[in-house]
Amino acid sequence: MARRNKGRAVHGIVVIDKPLGLTSNQVLQRVKRFYNARKAGHTGALDPQASGVLPICLGEATKFSQVLLDADKAYDTTAVLGEIRSTGDVEGEVIETHPVPELTEAQVEQVLEQWRGPIEQVPPMFSALKLDGKPLYELARQGMTAEQAQAIADKKRRTVNIHELTLNAQRATELDLSVRCSKGTYIRSLVEDIGNGLGCGAYVGHLRRTHSGPFNLTQAVTLEQLEQLAEQADTHALDALLLPMALAIPDSWPVVELDAQQSAKIRQGQAISTGLADCPSVQLWAVDSGQRQLIGIGRIERRGIRPQRLLQFES
């Protein structure tokens, strides 16, 4: 006997202003419950001690989760100078303290300049990144030595891109910074590196994500807003908060418009010939009687359009 799907077939993206103290998965599960959605996924985890933009994909929008995972992010953060903590943020134990020198804005800017553009970064041991199937934070809590932890972290060294790094305010022991960066950037590691460059160490005292791909705080709603609507069983108002899944696709991806016959072939997973040049990522839109509908994303190779993620709506 076929197993019936539980929940509503609801599709779209809701941008949550994630509160402090909750994991991204806890937020995801609450949103899924408020919408009574069959399927949901988030688009890049935020630490429990971080707040801000967390897009949640519902239904067929989950097929674009990876696109949003790969997108640039932006953050506002406060670097607290003079201490190095085990987790790189306020939750960690103090493992080193250093006097904070009197720093001029020019001295701070000189250090910040070293961390703009492509940089190498070692992820913090207290992160969800995995080594041999185990999250680093589990390995870190097993009481390993600093040398062992460093050796493990170095295996996960990666190159990231800091597109913008701006000093917004400076106080005796704090720096307010804005960061726009590529996927996979750890702000805790960036702040620690800046602190080391200033000669006094630093940890993240405050972290708020302001952008995730095309989404920003002006589009965000709170869990309390969703909970209130869910308690009122106001599915119309809940669904009105959903953003079109097409917004997840970068504007830089070429648009390919397909007629009815071509759309039918693509929906069956067949490649169709084209005179267009090869391209790794394209938007696929069906056009019928002047109406356009997003049907998925694909690629063009050897003069053929090949589907990658196709939308399949069910009632």
Q: How many domains does the chain have?
A: 3
Asked, for residue 304, whether it belongs to a domain, the answer is: yes
Question: What is the pLDDT, as a whole number, of residue 152?
Answer: 66
**CA max distance for the chain:** 72
For residue 14, give the nearest of 1, 32, 26, 38 by alpha carbon: 32
Q: Are 128 and 229 in contact (CB under 8 A)?
A: no
C-alpha to C-alpha distances, 297 to 2, 29, 280, 294, nearest whole angstrom? 30, 27, 10, 8
Question: What is the pLDDT, as a whole number, of residue 72?
Answer: 96
Asked, for residue 195, whether it belongs to a domain, the answer is: yes
Distance CA 104, CA 111 (A): 11
Same domain for 85 and 199? yes
Question: What is the pLDDT, as a whole number, of residue 153?
Answer: 65
Distance CA 189, CA 212 (A): 19
Distance CA 2, CA 57 (A): 26
Same domain for 116 and 164? yes
Q: Which two tokens stand for residue 45?
A: 């985890």
Asked, for residue 128, whether it belongs to a domain, the answer is: no
H-assigned helices in 95-246 = 105-113, 136-140, 146-155, 187-198, 223-231, 235-240
Domain that holds residue 240: 12-70+214-247
Same domain for 86 and 174? yes
Burial class (CB in 10 A: 0-12, 13-18, 19+), 284: buried
Question: What is the pLDDT, as a whole number, of residue 18?
Answer: 97
Same domain for 223 and 191? no
Asked, for residue 262, whether it belongs to a domain, the answer is: yes
Asked, for residue 223, whether it belongs to a domain, the answer is: yes
17 is catalytic: no
Question: Residues with Cβ < 8 Å from 217, sequence gap 6 or more?
Answer: 17, 52, 53, 210, 211
Asked, for residue 194, whether it belongs to a domain, the answer is: yes
Same domain for 192 and 227? no
Catalytic residue among 17, 47, 76, 193: 47
Question: What is the pLDDT, as a whole number, of residue 129?
Answer: 45
Q: What is the pLDDT along the chain (315 residues), one digit of tens a residue?
A: 445 568 899 999 999 999 999 999 999 999 999 999 999 998 888 889 999 999 999 999 999 999 999 999 999 999 999 999 988 899 888 989 999 999 999 999 999 999 999 999 987 655 444 445 554 445 555 555 556 666 666 666 889 999 999 999 999 999 999 999 999 999 999 999 999 999 999 999 999 999 999 999 999 999 999 999 999 999 999 999 999 999 999 999 999 999 999 999 999 988 899 888 999 999 999 998 888 999 999 999 988 999 999 998 764
